């Protein structure tokens, strides 16, 4: 507290004769209270001159506290802004960045290897419903794409995703492969007896056939009603001879599993089926042949199938049809027989020598 009376500084300084001008230069902020009624209270220090009496108050502590309080407010505001930004960034990452990265990974996986399984991801419950729906839909579409096109559609998926458009005019590829054809016996009678339930019968058989083929390095290609086209191709360490043995092994496994399937037995023992075909059992005929084929996208912009074009595919179908004439379950051509390992050849027997339709030379048939 500094007090000046009649222009003289009488309190707060050792020398009471300090001029008023020197007092104004005192290094502190001051508040002036005039007592002669000629000045408004709260005026600044610059209005001290010409007044008889004034009081100078030292407010450094108050100013320091105000500065500290303002600094603390700014620090709190910065911390709150930082926390809000981090929380907002976490939300953006969880709701936008992470789902987009997972979806981009699915697309990249399909482009790189269309047959690579797409792993289902447990999506967090905190994720928005719309984002979960989009990600699940993309995963489902990718899985359906793999199931629909199969192994023959690998190049089709890769090419179309690389070009970003659907084009059915791409040329096919010549391949050497083993072709298998099989169908369900007495299927027409089953269809009339089972009606809508015949779909369950076909799918049960398809499950057995497809699993046996895939487990033996083959690939299901087409489902044609009651018939199935199957393909084995050499790949990696699997040569033609090993593929041939695998093809026959998958046929034998299919026959065994169909005989012990409780679901197929229930279908066969239905009264409607037994009434139409007494003593019916669900059985199949199998044809197996080796040759070349053109692998590619067959169809138009309205519908595309990944399949094979070749007379050798037709030969496999004709061999399957001939199983009924010869009374056997499996019928194989001489071309596939020569690929079998010696151990497998000993298990086969020749049953005829014929000229197949579409062929100029006679061939032996084995079972």
Predicted confidence (pLDDT) per residue in 73-104, tens digit: 999 999 999 999 888 888 888 777 877 888 78
Is the pLDDT assigned to residue 182 strictly greater than 80? Answer: yes
Q: pLDDT tens for residues 126-176?
A: 666 777 777 777 777 777 776 766 666 666 666 666 666 666 677 778 889
> Model confidence over 320-343: pLDDT tens digits?
999 999 999 999 999 999 999 999
3-state helix, strand, coil in the chain (%, to 5): 50, 20, 30
Report CA torsion sign: 90, 96, 97, 98. Answer: positive
Confidence (pLDDT) at 20: 47
Report the distance separating Cα 71 and Cα 81, nearest Å: 15
Q: How far apart are CA 301 and CA 95, in angstroms?
A: 36
Distance CA 216, CA 193 (A): 34
Write out pLDDT tens, residues 200-246.
999 999 999 999 999 999 989 888 888 999 999 988 888 889 999 99
What does the alpha-carbon distance between residue 155 and residue 296 come to, in Å, rounded to a whole number? Answer: 8
User: Quick check: 288 and 333 in contact, CB under 8 A?
Assistant: yes
CA atoms lying within 13 Å on the CB side of residue 234: 11
| Separation of alpha carbons 236 and 361, rounded Å | 33
pLDDT exceeds 60 at position 63: yes
Cα 1 to Cα 30: distance, rounded to the nearest angstrom: 9
**In the predicted model, is pLDDT for residue 13 greater than 70?**
no
pLDDT score at 46:
46
Please, is 308 exposed, middle or buried when counting C-beta atoms within 10 Å of its C-beta (0-12, 13-18, 19+)? buried
pLDDT band at 288 (very low <50, low <70, confident <90, very high): very high
Mean pLDDT of the chain: 80
pLDDT category at 8 given cuts 50, 70, 90 is low
DSSP β-bridge partners for residue 365: 333, 352
Q: Which residue has the higher pLDDT, 313 or 1?
A: 313
Instruction: Indicate the pairing of strand 173-184 with strand 284-299.
Output: antiparallel
In the three-class reduction of DSSP (H, G, I as helix; E, B as strand; rest coil), residue 4 is classed as: strand
Q: Is the pLDDT of residue 249 over 60?
A: yes
Residues 6+ apart with CB under 8 A from 140: none
320: tokens are 């399957």
Q: Are 306 and 297 in contact (CB under 8 A)?
A: yes
| pLDDT for residue 95 | 76
308: tokens are 């094979």
Which helix (H) or strand (E) covers residue 278, if one does? none
Spatial distance between the Cα atoms of 191 and 183, rounded to a whole number of angstroms: 14
How far apart are alpha carbons 292 and 308 in whole angstroms?
Answer: 9
Q: What pLDDT is stored for residue 232 in this prediction?
A: 94
Provide mean pLDDT across the span 195-204.
Answer: 92
Q: Taking every pair of C-alpha atoms in the chain, what is the biggest distance, in angstroms? A: 141
Structure tokens at 231: 């393909």
Whole-number pLDDT of residue 248:
95
Helix (H), strand (E), coil (C) string for 197-231: HHHHHHHHHHHHHHHHHHHCCCEEEEEECCEEEEE
């Amino acid at each position: 507290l500094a007090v000046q009376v009649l222009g003289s500084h009488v309190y707060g300084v050792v020398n009471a004769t300090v001029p008023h001008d020197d007092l104004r230069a005192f290094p502190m902020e001051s508040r002036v209270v005039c007592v002669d009624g000629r000045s408004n209270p709260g005026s600044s220090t610059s209005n001290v001159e010409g007044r008889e009496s004034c009081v100078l108050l030292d407010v450094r502590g108050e100013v320091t506290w105000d500065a500290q309080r303002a600094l603390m407010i700014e620090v709190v505001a910065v911390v709150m802004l930082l926390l809000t930004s981090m929380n907002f960034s976490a939300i953006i990452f969880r709701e936008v960045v992470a789902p987009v990265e997972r979806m981009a990974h699915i697309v990249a996986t399909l482009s790189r290897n269309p047959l690579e399984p797409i792993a289902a991801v447990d999506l967090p419950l905190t994720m928005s419903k719309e984002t979960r729906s989009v990600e699940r839909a993309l995963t489902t579409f990718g899985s359906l794409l793999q199931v629909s096109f199969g192994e023959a559609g690998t190049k089709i998926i890769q090419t179309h995703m690389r070009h970003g458009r659907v084009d059915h005019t791409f040329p096919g590829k010549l391949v050497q492969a083993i072709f298998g054809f099989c169908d369900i016996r007495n299927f027409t009678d089953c269809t009339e007896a089972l009606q809508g339930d015949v779909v369950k019968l076909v799918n049960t058989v398809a499950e057995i056939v497809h699993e046996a083929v895939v487990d033996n390095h083959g690939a299901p290609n087409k489902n044609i009603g009651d018939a199935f086209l199957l393909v084995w191709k050499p790949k990696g360490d699997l040569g033609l001879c090993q593929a041939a043995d695998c093809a026959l092994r998958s046929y034998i496994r299919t026959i065994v599993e169909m005989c012990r399937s409780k679901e197929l037995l229930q279908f066969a023992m239905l009264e409607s089926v037994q009434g139409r075909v007494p003593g019916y059992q669900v059985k199949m005929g199998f044809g197996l042949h080796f040759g070349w084929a053109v692998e590619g996208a067959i169809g138009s912009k309205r519908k595309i199938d990944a399949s094979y074009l070749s007379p050798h595919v037709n030969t496999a179908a004709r061999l399957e049809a001939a199983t009924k004439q010869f009374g056997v379950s499996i019928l194989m051509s001489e071309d596939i027989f020569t690929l079998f390992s010696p151990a497998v050849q000993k298990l086969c027997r020749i049953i005829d020598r014929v000229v197949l339709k579409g062929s100029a030379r006679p061939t032996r048939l084995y079972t």
